[in-house]
């Protein structure tokens, strides 16, 4: 019986020591992190880049910049930060135990030409299927009888019907895009 109690006591002591070592290891691992903060701006005009991605290279640890271009991220002292934003060339910067890193991203014209903004997000040009129409301000030159943008767009985009719902000035309009009309026979657009 004494042998049994001695064995249990020994297991309890070993378990306690392992717990203490595990806690000490976790605490030391957390203390080796460095809080890095900074601001991400556009090189050409110094404007803050909202939603830029900041990641610790080789990990899934990351964040995005706030409305002022600011970010905060806990990383290893010798980590490398990867900063990227659509339309800008990504940058990799070594932390080197610094706590403040400001980044100025340069535009990447090739990336800008490859990205298309669609009604539900962005896509790369090569992945896009379907037709794209690009209307500029030159295409929407005011016609004397046009009093709104929707009237200026009439007849300029293939597959899009723009009609007024009433004869009242400033009245509502219906915009029907080809392929998005109801599948049942109906005369009004999808809502």
Is 114's pLDDT higher than 70?
no
Q: What is the pLDDT of residues 161-182, one digit of tens each?
A: 777 777 777 677 777 777 655 5
Is 32's pLDDT higher than 50?
yes
Is 174 exposed, middle or buried, given 0-12, 13-18 or 19+ CB atoms closer than 10 A?
middle
More confident residue, 145 or 23: 145
Is 128's pLDDT higher than 70?
no
Q: Where are the domains of the chain?
A: 1-31, 33-110, 133-191
Most confident range (mean pLDDT) of 79-93, 113-127, 160-174 is 79-93
Contact 42, 104 (CB under 8 A): yes
Contacts of 111 (CB under 8 A, 6+ apart): 86, 87, 88, 89
pTM for the predicted model, two decimal places: 0.47
pLDDT in the model for residue 104: 93
Contacts of 104 (CB under 8 A, 6+ apart): 40, 41, 42, 43, 46
What is the helix (H) or strand (E) element at residue 17, kind and residue range?
A: helix 2-31
Cα–Cα distance measured from residue 71 to residue 41, given in angstroms and rounded to the nearest whole number: 11
| Architecture of the 33-110 domain | Sandwich (2.60)
Is 147's pLDDT higher than 60?
yes
Pairing of strands 70-75, 103-105: unpaired
Other beta carbons within 10 angstroms of residue 54's beta carbon come to: 24
Is 185's pLDDT higher than 50?
no
Q: What is the pLDDT of residues 56-72, one digit of tens each?
A: 999 999 999 999 999 99
């Amino acid at each position: 019986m004494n042998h049994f109690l001695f064995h249990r006591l020994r297991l309890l002591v070993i378990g306690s020591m392992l717990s203490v070592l595990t806690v000490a290891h976790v605490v030391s691992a957390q203390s080796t992190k460095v809080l890095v903060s900074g601001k991400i701006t556009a090189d050409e005009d110094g404007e803050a880049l909202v939603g830029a991605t900041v990641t610790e290279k080789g990990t899934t640890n990351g964040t995005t910049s706030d409305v002022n271009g600011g970010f905060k991220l806990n990383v290893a002292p010798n980590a490398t930060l990867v900063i990227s934003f659509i339309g800008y060339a990504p940058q990799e910067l070594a932390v080197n135990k610094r706590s403040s890193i400001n980044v100025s991203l340069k535009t990447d014209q090739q990336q800008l030409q490859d990205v298309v903004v669609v009604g539900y997000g962005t896509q790369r040009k090569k992945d896009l299927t379907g037709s794209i129409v690009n209307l500029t301000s030159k295409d929407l030159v005011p016609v004397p009888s046009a009093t709104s943008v929707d009237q200026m767009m009439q007849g300029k985009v293939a597959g899009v019907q723009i009609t007024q719902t009433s004869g009242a000035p400033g009245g509502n309009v219906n915009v029907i895009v080809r392929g998005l009309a109801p599948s049942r026979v109906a005369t009004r657009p999808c809502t």
